[in-house]
Structure 1
Amino acid sequence: MDTPVIFDRKAVRQHRDRAARRLDGIMPVLDITADLLLDRLDDMVRSFSAALDIGGRGAISPRLAARGIATTSMDLSPRLVTRSGEMRVCADEEWLPFAPHSFDLVIANLSLHWVNDLPGVFAQIRHVLRPDGLFLASMPILPTLRPLRTALEAAELAVCDGVSPRVSPFPTQQSCAQLMQRAGFALPVIDTECLDLRYRSLSALMADLRAAGETNALTQRTRTIPPRMMFAAAAAELEKTGADSFAMPLHMAVLSGWAPAPTQPVPLQPGQFQHSLHDALNPQEPSA
């Protein structure tokens, strides 16, 4: 079955190219999310020697280098990849150009939500991992940007008499778990985190989205320039509480999973248990 083409990958690359010169504005967010991922890595008892950093935008590779891990940085954008470590590859996340078992660690920090074939990408990541290699990723999930989506839809409906797609669809925590299982990762774990971001204006929010390379790249987006009054109406919707700022939380799934290996623990199958849960919860007093 053909994969639906939801995102214009050429537009995604152009947006990331333009973001390269504005990246410093959103580095604090990338740094926070990078630390969330690396905290999970530091909890592991095993060591890693060869990592792939997918779309890290300069936040992941320095942290891995500080831990003594040789890192290859990859990005769709030739301009953004220069922000990363010494070993760099400009390539498409949908077609990983690496041999099987090339890495024992793959990290993707807020960089996979613009791919059209997430199941295929997850399968490729497992393919390039060595047995017992670790995949760590953060992904925005619903309801990220829901206030913006709602405000833009209400404003466009009022001003333009119709609605066009302007905000990317995001997965859910449950769909992320299904992706990990479908790709064949062992011992998958999906946690959630939320960054409480606040903005004083819609223009400030849009500036951050441009700096992150996160503006509209949907294939079904309208190509016409919207009237100014539409954005004024959307801003009024977001700012109607009268507070000096409005909330735009970043909801994330933090994913971890292992490439299968014979040495990994395997859950027991039904019928293999030697003791019942009832016995464990109701221990019998030893007889005299």
Structure 2
Amino acid sequence: MFATRLVHRYPLWRRHYATAAHGAANFQVFNRDVKRMQKDRAASNVETSRTVDYLKDEVAARVADRLMDIKRDFNTVVDLGSGCGHVVKHVSKDMMKKLIMCDISEQALRRDADEYAPVEVERRIVDEEHLPFEENSLEAVVSSLSMHWVNDLPGALIQVRKALVPDGVFVGALFGGDTLFELRTSLQLAELERESGVSPHVSPMTDSSDIARLLSRAGLTLTTVDVDEIVVDYPSMFELMEDLKAMGENNAVLSRRPIIKRDTLMAAASIYKELHGNPDGTVPATFQIIYMIGWKPSPTQPLPKKRGSATTSLKDVLEN
């Protein structure tokens, strides 16, 4: 695992998937209408939302790097949950001819529609839970920091696999289970102290140990999963929460409480600084990012060798 610290200008359950039933759609955690409205509201405040693009731009650059490493000239690539266009900032004509940006938020899709793009861009209002693409129609699909808001992640991955052509590739990134652990623990301790209970204020994320299994159960092969962390320093917990809202990343859990009491928030901010604060008075926020790559099966793909067919001992290699 790698850690990166971003310098900026100035809540959390884990979701475990025991099974990934084909077409299952009854696992509802998030209110997708609320998430769309949150993203619309964030993108409508153009200047503020642009100042908080730092995290999504950084992760999108890493997703684009992984796509570039594949060394293929794609005609068309689909960006699921594109938001305002974070991935398109990091692509080139050497990678693809056209990028189809898809998001549930029309405001997000249109925010930077007049900005320069290095490739042809098409924008579509698409819900990641209900993909409109025909089977065997897409060469590549990317998704950067969007699929952690999908209720049925196994079902979404199955839809992606169906839409890909044989030997087509999916490259994704989503927040992992340790994201914002500092904020989660601080809010929980404050609520226990002030209200004698705990409520979900930070959205549940998928644990990294589940992702490889989900990719395989969705029918994707040659899977790769890696994890890193990005740590951003803020003046206090309140600036962190303001930035999350400006990103459209505020809580959309169905069972969320509409408000947090002021004294609980003040207590949480004090606990955050006491437990996690930096020597310079700032507070860190950790974003765990899970990157994943999977391919649609094809007869032309290389197959793993049979178990026991190796001719060289790993022990001998390490000793040499």
The answer to whether the superposition gives a TM-score over 0.5 is yes
| Percent sequence identity over aligned pairs | 34
1:39 aligns with 2:65: yes
1:15 aligns with 2:38: yes
Structure 2 Cα separation of the partners of residues 74 and 151 of structure 1? 35
Give CA-to-partner distance per residue, 1:117-137, whole Å, 9 cap, x none.
Answer: 000000101111111111111
Q: How far apart are 1:193 and its partner, in Å?
A: 1.7
Structure 2 Cα separation of the partners of residues 222 and 266 of structure 1? 50
Q: Which residue type is aligned with residue 14 of structure 1?
A: M
Structure 2 Cα separation of the partners of residues 160 and 138 of structure 1? 36
Q: Which residue type is aligned with residue 215 of structure 2?
A: M
Residue matched to 1:207: 242
SS of the aligned residue for 2:300 comes to coil
Structure 1 Cα separation of the partners of residues 50 and 217 of structure 2? 36
Give CA-to-partner distance per residue, 1:254-275, whole Å, 9 cap, x none.
Answer: 111111111100112336x2x5
Q: Is the 8 A contact 1:64 1:71 kept in 2?
A: no
Give CA-to-partner distance per residue, 1:31-64, whole Å, 9 cap, x none.
Answer: 2111111111221232211110111221112433
Structure 1 Cα separation of the partners of residues 230 and 181 of structure 2? 14
Q: How far apart are 1:30 and its partner, in Å?
A: 1.6
Give CA-to-partner distance per residue, 1:46-87, whole Å, 9 cap, x none.
Answer: 221111011122111243354443111100111112246641
Q: Is the 8 A contact 2:182 2:286 kept in 1?
A: no
Number of residue pairs aligned between Structure 1 and Structure 2: 279
SS of the aligned residue for 2:146 comes to coil
Q: Is the 8 A contact 1:65 1:71 kept in 2?
A: no
1:70 aligns with 2:70: no
Structure 2 Cα separation of the partners of residues 183 and 144 of structure 1? 25
Residue matched to 2:157: 122
With the length of structure 2 as denominator, give the TM-score of the two structures: 0.82
1:269 aligns with 2:296: no
Which blocks of at least 5 consecutive residues in structure 1 are unaligned?
A: 283-288
Q: In the TM superposition, what are the counterparts of 1:131-142 in structure 2 within 5 Å?
A: 131-142=166-177
Structure 2 Cα separation of the partners of residues 233 and 41 of structure 1? 44
Structure 2 Cα separation of the partners of residues 7 and 30 of structure 1? 21
- The equivalent position to 1:246 in structure 2, one of 278, 283, 290, is 283
Structure 2 Cα separation of the partners of residues 249 and 229 of structure 1? 24
Give CA-to-partner distance per residue, 1:136-167, whole Å, 9 cap, x none.
Answer: 11111121111101111111122222211111
Structure 1 pair 136–126 and aligned structure 2 pair: CA distance change class (3 A)? same
Q: Which residue type is aligned with residue 297 of structure 2?
A: P
Q: Which residue type is aligned with residue 10 of structure 1?
A: D
Q: How far apart are 1:27 and its partner, in Å?
A: 1.3
Structure 1 pair 259–246 and aligned structure 2 pair: CA distance change class (3 A)? same
Residue matched to 1:229: 263
Q: Is the 8 A contact 2:25 2:152 kept in 1?
A: no
Residue matched to 2:14: none
Q: How far apart are 1:220 and its partner, in Å?
A: 1.0
Structure 1 Cα separation of the partners of residues 91 and 136 of structure 2? 19
Structure 1 Cα separation of the partners of residues 268 and 211 of structure 2? 31
Q: Is the 8 A contact 1:62 1:84 kept in 2?
A: no
Q: How far apart are 1:196 and its partner, in Å?
A: 1.6
Q: CA RMSD in A?
A: 2.0
